[in-house]
Amino acid sequence: FSGDPEVRMLSVRGLTAIGAAGAGPLLEKALTDPHDGVRSEAVAGLAALGLKTDAIADLLNDPSPRVRLAAVRAAGTLKLTGMAKGAMALMVDDSAEVRRAAIEALLRLGECGTAPSVRQRLNEWRNRALRDEFGPPSREFSLRCIGK
């Protein structure tokens, strides 16, 4: 890849658009790029091509909201159920867009918290959501999973 992040982003988009054979390893390598735009495009590319990788899980904790957003969307799109806890943690992300995407991903995963620790966390979120601390999407998710 080029030294220019814009060129790298365009390269990742191109690989995704043409569905290039062997794109998976190149997109996975781009997940560690120093530029958040390249990382987010790489995650989106993997999801668009239906390529599952555990490396996406690390990006749920990325410092960039842009990357966290792409990662949690990919988790839902690819039905990466092993990332449900990471997606749940993003329900309280600083970014409203990431919070909404986390809820959508969890609904796609069908993950309403069957593990006791997850159920406990959802109960806490339910109580906070009832007070509208997170906004309507989180409230809707909590009530749907746990009930009124």
φ, ψ for residue 122, nearest 5 deg? -65, -35
Determine contact, residues 79/112, Cβ cutoff 8 Å.
Answer: no
Distance CA 142, CA 124 (A): 9
> What's the pLDDT at 108?
81
148 residues of the chain, pLDDT tens digit each? 678 999 999 999 999 998 877 889 999 999 999 999 999 999 999 999 999 999 999 999 999 999 999 999 999 999 998 998 899 889 889 998 998 888 888 878 875 554 555 556 666 665 665 556 555 555 566 556 655 4
Distance CA 117, CA 12 (A): 38
140 token code pair: 């809707």
> What's the half-sphere exposure (Cβ side, CA atoms, 13 Å) at 87?
31
For tokens 């999407």, the residue is 137
Determine contact, residues 78/52, Cβ cutoff 8 Å.
Answer: yes
Q: Measure the N-to-C terminal CA separation of the chain; round to a whole number of Å.
A: 52
Locate all alpha helices (DSSP H) within the chain, ordered by sequence: 5-18, 23-30, 36-48, 55-58, 65-77, 84-89, 96-109, 116-130, 136-146
